[in-house]
Structure 1
Amino acid sequence: MTSLRILHLTDTHLFGDNARHYDTVDTAAQLTAALAHVAEQPCDLVVVAGDVSEDGTVESYQRARTIVGEWARERDARAVFTMGNHDRREAFREVLGGGQPDAHERVLAGTDPARPIASVTESNGWRVIVLDTSVPARGYGDIEAEQLTFLRDILATPAENGTVIVMHHAPVDAQTDLLQALALDPHDADEFIEIIAGSDVRVVLSGHYHHPIVETVNGIPVVVAPGVANIARSLDDPAEESAELAFGGAVIEIRGTRTRVVPFIERHEAALEVFRFDRETVARIIAAAGRPTP
């Protein structure tokens, strides 16, 4: 296989029961609609780049594995999942293992169920690395030193066709004040970028921001897919935060020296605002949940 096609989804925010996100959004229906929207697209990987679950229950991960896994298997593809800030490591690991449950994954060593979930697989010359940027009970992201060592050691030997990295918090800045306060630690982002520079990494797939971003870093595209549960407004006043009822994702094709990214967003016929936080509300959320200042 000299090309690789990826359906990149993120932020499914599934529940183990019939609860609704923000008391409004049926996230399982959103995920089903997103998959139906791209039903005619062939793919090799179906990636869910974090915040797989909203409630962190075993049942929510079983739902993700069923919906995404069955869709992928029908297309001879495989599903890949990574931890997000809403996910819970123990339940995630119980159902999804190291994030690549349908492959012979090599996981970050250790027996403590609360440790980061990271894994690597290689198939048909393509390597997929899953990293865990979550910080338990926090919205912002970090990459522990052991994961950076894990990444550096793996990338020391190139894969035949190249490497895809999946991580929830992107190593690029957010578009709004609230999301920047909940972004990846900038020092970890810098070290991550230093590690992948000059490597065989073809693309980095992320989520968390709920709207699309494609940024090239040292010649490597970092793709933030829009959310499945809702779509954040990215170009309004950055001191405010709001989202609408819509779903999205991206279709990515790596072929030869080219990486093609086709994001999509689909809105419902009746436009519905899921939430809107004014400046004062955003400031309070940042003070309560943002990264502490040194």
Structure 2
Amino acid sequence: MAWFDEVAKFNTPQLRLAHITDCHLFCDIDGEYFAVNTAKHFSSALTHMAQQPLDAVIFGGDLTQDHSFESYLLFAQLIADSPLTCPVFWVPGNHDEISLMQRISGGQIKSAKRLIASGFDILLVNSKGPTPAGWVSEQHINELSEVLAASQQPAVVFCHHNPLPINGYLDKHMLENGPQLLNVLHNSGLVNHLFHGHVHNDYQFKFRSVDILSTPASSVQFTKHSIDWQQQNMGASYRLITLERLNTAEPLCVKSELIWLNE
């Protein structure tokens, strides 16, 4: 099955999403990443998201830190134990194994990579490469182009890696062919927003017609604009995103805000 073949349909011209990313879980629910209990942070974010009128959650990758299958099971268990009731979709991060993410998909956790609403699409792009840096394969880029050309609907794109440098330590692990992906999105005339994780903080850039926004991690943040790898416990974070196109003669309206759960 091609990446975008499985779809989820929403019969509405408005979607309210949450984008949460980089939870870095361990097999042990008490596991700590730079002295932060990542399961506790992720669980608190799930509880807070459940208080929002959400249609779906997009998980932005880096589910695991210790690469154990038990950490994937913990991810699924934390979602099942939370009051969150909407579907959860995902893209893989550099730490993740797609096969393991597919194994926990079912029920509330969905494996669809194309969300179709009334008048617009949401496309979840695979930026996982052979190294910690990101890479979108030529085949995947071609498939993305074909989906956009066939739908002719405005779309919002999510991936894990940052497609442009952030002037920080993680630039050595950025999406190596990011400009190629962004040019495809711009040239389609249909995509004006790309959301990503990976960089563990809030960044906003513009590439031609495409606004690029990163969502901070639910685990721990990395100090901005630092050549050295520095960590900050600023509490869990996620992004609320509202997409609306009430009239197909109008462009897609995209609004977002960051939520910080300072503890």
1:260 aligned partner, one-letter code: K
Q: Tell me which residue corresponds to 1:92.
A: 101
Q: Deviations over 1:238-292 (max 9, x none)?
A: 2222112222111111224432121123333xxxxxxxxxxxxxxxxxxxxxxxx
Q: Are residue 184 (structure 1) and residue 175 (structure 2) matched?
A: yes
Q: Tell me which residue corresponds to 2:9.
A: none
The CA RMSD over aligned residues, in Å, is: 2.5
The question of whether the paired residues in 2 share the 8 Å contact of 1:48 and 1:80 is answered with: yes
Q: CA deviation at 1:202?
A: 4.8
Q: Which moved more, 1:188-197 or 1:11-20?
A: 11-20
The question of whether the paired residues in 2 share the 8 Å contact of 1:158 and 1:199 is answered with: no
Distance 1:151 1:38, change over 3 A: same
The question of whether the paired residues in 2 share the 8 Å contact of 1:204 and 1:223 is answered with: yes
Separation in structure 2 between the aligned mates of residue 68 and residue 192 of structure 1, nearest angstrom: 31
TM score, norm. by length of structure 1: 0.74
Q: CA deviation at 1:206?
A: 0.6
Q: CA deviation at 1:225?
A: 0.3
Q: Deviations over 1:13-52 (max 9, x none)?
A: 1123235233622211110112233443211121111101
Q: Tell me which residue corresponds to 1:280.
A: none
Q: Tell me which residue corresponds to 1:264.
A: 259
Separation in structure 2 between the aligned mates of residue 191 and residue 72 of structure 1, nearest angstrom: 40
Tell me, which stretches of 5 or more residues in structure 2 are unaligned? 1-11, 246-251
Select which of 193, 203, 209 maps to 1:219.
209
What are the equivalent positions in structure 2 for 1:1-294 lying under 5 Å apart?
1-18=12-29, 20-22=31-33, 24-68=35-79, 74=85, 77-96=86-105, 101-102=109-110, 105=112, 119-136=113-130, 138-158=131-151, 160=153, 162-176=154-168, 178-185=169-176, 188-197=177-186, 198-235=188-225, 238-245=226-233, 246-256=235-245, 257-268=252-263
Distance 1:159 1:28, change over 3 A: farther
Q: Which moved more, 1:62-71 or 1:217-226?
A: 62-71
When the two structures are aligned, how many residues end up with a matched partner? 243
Q: Which moved more, 1:29-38 or 1:149-158?
A: 29-38
Separation in structure 2 between the aligned mates of residue 72 and residue 183 of structure 1, nearest angstrom: 34
Aligned-residue sequence identity (percent) comes to 21
Separation in structure 1 between the aligned mates of residue 71 and residue 119 of structure 2, nearest angstrom: 32
The question of whether the paired residues in 1 share the 8 Å contact of 2:20 and 2:59 is answered with: yes
The question of whether the paired residues in 2 share the 8 Å contact of 1:129 and 1:164 is answered with: yes
1:79 aligned partner, one-letter code: V
2:189 aligned partner, one-letter code: S
Q: CA deviation at 1:72?
A: 7.8
1:171 aligned partner, one-letter code: P
Distance 1:123 1:55, change over 3 A: farther
The question of whether the paired residues in 2 share the 8 Å contact of 1:165 and 1:205 is answered with: yes
Q: CA deviation at 1:148?
A: 0.6
The question of whether the paired residues in 2 share the 8 Å contact of 1:10 and 1:51 is answered with: yes
1:232 aligned partner, one-letter code: F
2:29 aligned partner, one-letter code: N
Higher relative contact order (CA 8 A, sep 6+): 2
Q: CA deviation at 1:86?
A: 0.9
Distance 1:58 1:213, change over 3 A: same
SS in 2 for 1:4: strand
TM score, norm. by length of structure 2: 0.82
Separation in structure 2 between the aligned mates of residue 96 and residue 42 of structure 1, nearest angstrom: 23
Q: CA deviation at 1:68?
A: 3.5
Distance 1:23 1:180, change over 3 A: closer
